[in-house]
Structure 1
Amino acid sequence: MLAKPFPDQPINPFVTLVDPAHRPRAGAIPQDDYDLDTPWHSHDMHQLQYAFDGSIEVEDRQASYLCLRTRAIWIPAGVVHRTSLHRVRSGSVLFSPDMIPEAGDRVRIIQVSPLMREMVVGAMRWPLTQPQDETGQAYFAALANLCSEWIKEEAPLQLPTTREPQLEAAMSYTRAHLKDGDVASACVAAGLSERTLRRRFRSSFGMSWDEYRRRARLIAAAALLSDARTPIGDVAAEVGFESQSAFARAFKDLTGKSPREFRPR
């Protein structure tokens, strides 16, 4: 997951993907060949990005998010974020802010219904860079209305972030050593006593260090599960679970689905 905390320096408020004077109120951008790690930025349009294949990492002021294959990520206009996108087959639909007034103030990973997937695919017919006919205008108006409902179906694939160097050091160590890292080693990485580390995790994130590691393990497992060739038992072992049954219970507690149900078909 993206690791650097939100910067202290000012950020350019908007990145305009297409000149506002020459773009329609909504449109699509295919993103199959993008290979980039963006700086911190924000858009002047709402963005719904669907991952046809691979995974996308996004971070805002509050958390880091993992958008997996067959999921989508919602980025409201004006929300400062950064994105890691490497040879992922994806597509974005952009909306003028007034088309979805209740867009929220943070990034979200959202569940994707068959209808959403087909409508995102269909939206690629109308690129944001080209004028839009009446059919396209009606299409995106309907898609915007549906997005207002879809963005409420959030998937729990996010981890908290911090601007505190010691906690970030502990978190970075934990993410890098999911299989065998322990709290004592995380304390060494952070330069904190175990008591202080546990207290600061609870006060800063509302979760214990153990809960943070568990969630980090499960999010890493979700990414591994996107490859249907990897046995579920191997996924469980790779992220530090001693048994497949314990992994399956924990995974369903977090996502509401068993590892087998979560896998894309």
Structure 2
Amino acid sequence: MTRKAYSFVRTFPAEPARDLRVDRHYLLCASAGALRLEAEGEAWLLPPARAALIEAGRPIRVSIPQPVTTASVLFDVGFAPVPPAPLSVFDLDTLARELVRECGAWGVSDDPLPAYAETLFAALAAVAWRLAEQPSPVVVPAGRSPELRRALRLTEERLGADVRFEEVAAEVGLVPRSLARRFEDETGMTWRAVLRRMRVLRAIEHLAAGDTPVTSIAFLVGYTSLSAFNAAFRELTGRTPTQYRASFRP
């Protein structure tokens, strides 16, 4: 393949997690729906307003919780510089989203890029590399030990219910104090802080999926108070749920 960069636009059904490693620098993002990304003991959600910049050769795990249309870009290592970090997840600004859309006209091919397209890809790389220097804080730890990974999975499965820490600890075979210590040691966060982040990420997934009212989303992710939901959402993202949903739209 001779192209210095190309776009990968494709629609996928919901799929379980799979491992992925590419030999080019990879700007991974969705134009509709959302992707889940896990790497280096952390997990992110990628709705249309966010992207991941992944260094060539870096292994990642990707899952698709709902049908998604990707609009990603791959850069030859000789065309774009090494990213600022091996993996960075960040919010796309308007310019970056427009450049991703414009680059979508040039997919996988053995034909070289025309000068105009090469300029577009170079501009996108410059903008994305700059944005990658300010990664998003909305990330959830994935855990290292089997017990903590199971505790995280159980917590995520019960976000919309009255999830209780003591019940999660009992199901993974640890006393609450031991599980709390695992959270501190392996994630640097309390279980309550992880739960709050999981709820915000699930809310982002619902916001990206359609037009479900914000009040309904708050209850779906386990909040009984809209004001508490808005406060937690703004604390992690810097925006209200309504403002965040608006950022997904063209």
Q: TM-score, normalised by structure 1?
A: 0.85
* Structure showing the higher strand proportion among its residues: 2
Q: Is the 8 A contact 2:6 2:106 kept in 1?
A: yes
The one-letter code matched in structure 2 to 1:64 is: A
Counterpart of 1:221, as a letter, is A
Between stretches 157-166 and 178-187, larger displacement belongs to: 157-166
Q: 1:258 aligns with which of 224, 240, 245?
A: 240
- C-alpha displacement at 1:148, in angstroms? 1.5
Pick from 76, 87, 98 the counterpart of residue 67 of structure 2: 87
Residues 111-120 or 24-33, more deviating? 24-33
Equivalent residues of 1:100, 1:145 under 8 A apart: no
Q: Residue 125 of structure 2: which of 130, 141, 144 is its match? A: 144
RMSD of aligned residue pairs (Cα, Å)? 1.8
Deviation of the 1:155 alpha carbon: 2.6
Paired residue for 2:89, among 78, 94, 109?
Answer: 109
**CA–CA distance in structure 1, aligned partners of residues 242 and 126 of structure 2:** 32
SS in 2 for 1:89: strand
* Number of the residue aligned with 1:135: 116
Instruction: Give, as a single letter, the amino acid of the residue that structure 1 aligns with 2:132.
Output: I
Between the aligned partners of 1:118 and 1:41, the Cα distance in structure 2 is 26
Q: Does the CA-based 8 Å contact 1:228-1:263 persist in structure 2?
A: no
1:32 touches 1:88 (CA, 8 Å); kept in 2? yes
For the Cα contact (< 8 Å) 2:8–2:70, is it kept in 1?
no
| Count of residue pairs brought into register by the alignment | 243
1:169 corresponds to = 150
Change (3 A) 1:105 1:233: same
Question: Are the equivalent residues in 2 in contact too, given 1:38–1:84 (CA < 8 A)?
Answer: yes
| Residue 43 (structure 1) aligned with residue 25 (structure 2) | no
Structure 1 residues without counterparts, runs of 5 or longer: 1-21
Kindly indicate whether structure 1 or structure 2 has the higher relative contact order, using CA contacts under 8 Å at least 6 residues apart.
2
In 2: Cα distance, 1:137 partner to 1:166 partner: 48
* Deviates further, 133-142 or 207-216: 133-142
Contact 2:41 2:144 in 1 (8 A): no
**Amino acid across the alignment from 1:46:** H
**Displacement after TM superposition at 1:38 (Å):** 5.6
In 2: Cα distance, 1:97 partner to 1:104 partner? 14
**Alpha-carbon distance change, 37 to 75 in structure 1, aligned in 2, over 3 angstroms:** farther
Does 2:57 align with 1:78? yes
Q: What amino acid does structure 2 have at the position aligned with 1:93?
A: V
For residues 175 and 199 of structure 1, what CA distance do their matches in structure 2 show? 19
Deviations 1:132-169 (A, max 9, x none): 12222222222222221121242333211123111111
SS class of match (2:154): helix
Q: Secondary structure at the match of 2:68?
A: coil
Contact 2:34/2:209, CA 8 A, preserved across alignment:
no
Q: Report the Cα offset of residue 34 of structure 1.
A: 6.0
Three-state SS of the structure 1 residue aligned to 2:224 is coil
Match of 1:125 among 105, 109, 120: 105
State the shift of 1:35 in Å: 5.6
Instruction: Give matches, 1:181-200, under 5 Å.
Output: 181-200=163-182
Q: Deviations over 1:89-124 (max 9, x none)?
A: 121111123412234112x33211111111111101
